[in-house]
Amino acid sequence: MLFSCLVDADFLDTESFMDEKKSQQRGNYHSLKDLQLIFNTKMQQLIKKAPKTTVNKIRQDILSQCRDKAKNDTGIFSLTVPTGGGKTLASMAFALDHAIEHGKNRIIYVIPYTSIIEQTANVFKDFFGEKNVIEHHSNVDPDSVEKEDSHSRLATENWDAPIIVTTTVQYFESLHAARTSRCRKLHNIANSIVILDETQLLPPTLLAPILRVIRLLSKHYNVTHILSTATQPALKTQYDPFDRVICKGLDDATEIINNPNSLYQQLERVSLELPSDFQTTTDWQTLAKELKQYDSVLVIVNRRSDARELHALMPKGTYHLSALMCAQHRSHVIDKIKKELKQGLPVKVISTQLVEAGVDMDFPVVYRAMAGLDSIAQAAGRCNREGKLKKAGKYIKGKVIVFNPPKPSIGLLGKAAQSAISLLSNYSGNPLEPKLFTDFFEHFYSKTDPDEKGINKLLTPNEKLECQFRTAAQKFQMIEEQDTKTIFVLYDKQSADYLDQLERNGPKRWLMRKLQRYTVTLYCYQLKPLLNTGDIKEVWEGFYSQNSSTLYDTKIIGLGLLTVAESPSIESFIC
In-domain check, residue 332 = yes
CB atoms within 10 A of CB 42: 14
| pLDDT band, residue 84 (cuts 50/70/90) | confident
Q: What is the percent of the chain with per-residue pLDDT over 90, rounded to a whole number?
A: 58
Q: How does the average pLDDT of the chain come out, rounded?
A: 87
Give 323-355 as a 3 state SS string.
CCCCHHHHHHHHHHHHHHHHCCCCCEEEECHHH
- pTM equals 0.86
Q: Which residue range is the domain that position 23 belongs to?
A: 2-230+253-261
- Region of poorest pLDDT, from 270-279, 495-504, 507-516: 507-516
Higher pLDDT: 5 or 369? It is: 369
Q: Domain check: are 204 and 61 in the same one?
A: yes
In-domain check, residue 145 = yes
Separation between Cα atoms, residue 322 and residue 317, nearest integer Å: 16
pLDDT digits (tens, 9 = 90+) for 101-124: 999 999 999 998 776 777 788 899
In-domain check, residue 127 = yes
Reduced to 3 DSSP states, what percent helix, strand and coil does the chain have, rounded to the nearest 5? Answer: 45, 15, 40
Q: Domain check: are 212 and 299 in the same one?
A: no
Nearest to 261 by CA among 385, 435, 398, 138: 435
Q: Domain check: are 313 and 417 in the same one?
A: yes
In-domain check, residue 240 = no
Three-state DSSP state, 403: strand
In-domain check, residue 445 = no
In-domain check, residue 474 = no
Task: Identify the H or E element spanning 440.
Answer: helix 434-445
- Tell me how long the chain is: 575
Nearest to 227 by CA among 134, 124, 110: 110
CA angle 137, 127, 224 (to 5 degrees): 60
Q: Domain check: are 208 and 279 in the same one?
A: no
Q: Domain check: are 212 and 349 in the same one?
A: no
Q: Domain check: are 38 and 121 in the same one?
A: yes
- Region of poorest pLDDT, from 126-140, 220-234, 294-308: 126-140
Q: Domain check: are 286 and 195 in the same one?
A: no
Taking residues 259-268, report their average pLDDT. Answer: 87
pLDDT digits (tens, 9 = 90+) for 373-386: 999 999 999 999 88
Mutual angle of helices 284-291 and 304-312, in 10-degree steps: 60
What confidence score (pLDDT) does residue 518 get?
93
What confidence score (pLDDT) does residue 342 get?
92
Q: Domain check: are 122 and 8 in the same one?
A: yes
Q: Domain check: are 194 and 279 in the same one?
A: no
User: How many domains are there within the chain?
Assistant: 3
What are the φ and ψ backbone dihedral angles of 304, each rounded to 5 degrees? -65, -40
Q: Specify the amino acid at residue 465.
A: L
What confidence score (pLDDT) does residue 17 get?
61
Q: Domain check: are 372 and 322 in the same one?
A: yes
Q: Domain check: are 344 and 404 in the same one?
A: yes
Q: What is the CATH number of the domain that holds 414?
A: 3.40.50.300
In-domain check, residue 435 = no
pLDDT digits (tens, 9 = 90+) for 293-312: 999 999 999 999 999 999 99
Residue 472 has pLDDT above 60, yes or no: yes
Q: Domain check: are 292 and 220 in the same one?
A: no
